[in-house]
């Protein structure tokens, strides 16, 4: 059975004190989660050690992920963080190819393929984001866009490698806008993605990979989205910045 996952992407938010408080508030509420749901928090990289320390000290079932990684191994790449460094901090997951990174940091399909490779080399599971912008959906190009994002950055992976990847479908027009994809739109794209995996690998693998929905997911709409056969959870931005909302979303399965 594939994993049910709720991952929080904090983006570039929270002071050190606020991050500490939010992590504390989340860990306090973990007992209220339905069993079998994996909760992941992805804070800014400067708070990763704080997060792993809290998880270790309190011995709680919370996984920590980074928001980005370099596609390079090591060297003169000022400001970058490598997969080796993340593995040294016991990272379990790392977001790759978020639409904000594609847009503001010009991340290409090829760079993202490199990031995925580096993470897998060090045993860190990539949470690979894909999704179309509004103009692409209006032009009915959304399936072709998502297909290219996935095949160009993931389909060089072996069967074994891709089984350690989580995919997050995040229609860009739904991110931070309050405009969620309808439950039917989410299911349609998730089924499409699962079918791509089936065609490239096989049905068993396609059935094992978790596909998360992201884009204005909140406690009010999570249950309807997660009720879809091919929606295995969510990648949450704004609503992950409040412990109550984040936990309520994780309780929506
Ligand atoms: P949002 O962000 O939930 O604030 O729309 C989701 C994301 O960007 O991962």
Q: Given the structure tokens 């299911």, which residue do they identify?
A: 187
Which ligand 1 atom sits nearest the alpha carbon of residue 214?
Answer: 6
What is the pLDDT at residue 178?
Answer: 85
Per-residue pLDDT tens digits for 161-189: 999 999 999 999 999 888 888 999 999 99
Q: What is the CB < 6 Å shell around ligand 1? A: 9, 170, 175-176, 214-217, 235-239
Q: Whose CA is nearest to atom 6 of ligand 1?
A: 237
For residue 234, report the distance from its CA to the centre of ligand 1, in Å: 9
Report the 10 Å Cβ neighbour count for 195. Answer: 13
pLDDT for 202 = 97
Confidence of residue 31 (pLDDT cuts 50, 70, 90): confident
Taking residues 209-216, what's their average pLDDT? 97
Which residue's CA is minimally distant from atom 2 of ligand 1?
237
Q: Is 98 considered catalytic here?
A: yes
Task: Please indicate whether residue 170 is annotated as part of the active site.
Answer: yes
Compute the distance between CA of residue 158 and CA of residue 75 in angstroms, rounded to an integer.
Answer: 27
Looking at the chain, list the stretches that DSSP marks H as alpha helix, in order from N- to C-terminal side.
16-28, 48-58, 83-88, 99-104, 109-121, 134-138, 142-154, 159-162, 183-200, 203-208, 222-226, 243-250
> Separation of 220 CA from ligand 1 center, angstroms?
15
Give the per-residue pLDDT at 169.
98
> Separation of 55 CA from ligand 1 center, angstroms?
24
Question: What number does the ligand 1 atom closest to the CA of 11 have?
Answer: 8
Per the residue annotation, which of 98, 107, 125, 142 is the catalytic one?
98
Ligand 1 atom closest to 174 (CA): 5
Tell me the per-residue pLDDT of 59-94, one tens digit each, with 9 for 90 and over.
889 999 999 999 999 999 999 999 999 999 999 999
User: Which pLDDT tens digit goes with each residue over 148-164?
Assistant: 999 999 999 999 999 99
Helix/strand/coil (H, E, C) string of 66-96?
Answer: ECCCCCCCCCCCCCCCCHHHHHHCCCCEEEE
Ligand 1 pocket mutation, candidates 181, 234, 238, 248, criterion most atoms within 8 A of CB:
238
Ligand 1 pocket mutation pick from 176, 178, 186, 242 by most atoms within 8 angstroms of CB:
176
Query: What CATH number does the domain located at 4-250 have?
Result: 3.20.20.70
Q: φ, ψ for residue 206 (rounded to 5)?
A: -60, -35
Report the pLDDT value the prediction gives residue 123, as an integer from 0 to 100.
Answer: 97
Evaluate if pTM is beyond 0.85: yes
């Amino acid at each position: 059975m594939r994993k049910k996952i709720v991952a929080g992407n904090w983006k570039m938010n929270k002071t050190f004190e606020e991050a500490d408080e939010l992590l504390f508030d989340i860990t306090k509420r973990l007992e209220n989660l339905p069993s079998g749901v994996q909760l992941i928090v992805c804070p800014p990289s400067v708070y990763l050690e704080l997060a792993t320390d809290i998880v270790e000290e309190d011995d709680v079932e919370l996984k920590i992920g980074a928001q980005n990684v370099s596609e390079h191994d090591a060297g003169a790449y000022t400001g970058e963080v490598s997969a080796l460094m993340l593995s040294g901090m016991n990272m379990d997951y790392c977001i790759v190819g978020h639409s904000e990174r594609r847009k503001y940091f010009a991340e290409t399909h090829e760079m993202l393929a490199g990031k995925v490779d580096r993470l897998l080399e060090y045993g860190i599971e990539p949470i690979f984001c894909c999704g179309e912008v509004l103009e692409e959906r209006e032009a009915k190009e959304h399936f072709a866009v998502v297909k290219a994002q996935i095949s160009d950055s993931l389909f060089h992976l072996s069967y074994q490698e891709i089984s350690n990847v989580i995919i997050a479908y995040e229609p860009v027009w739904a991110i931070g806008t309050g405009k969620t994809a309808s439950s039917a739109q989410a299911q349609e794209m998730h089924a499409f993605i699962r079918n791509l995996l089936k065609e490239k690998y096989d049905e068993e693998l396609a059935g094992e990979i978790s596909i998360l929905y992201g884009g204005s997911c909140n406690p009010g709409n999570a249950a309807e989205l997660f009720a879809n056969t091919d929606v295995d959870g969510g990648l949450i931005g704004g609503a992950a910045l409040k412990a109550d909302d984040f936990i309520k979303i994780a309780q929506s399965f």
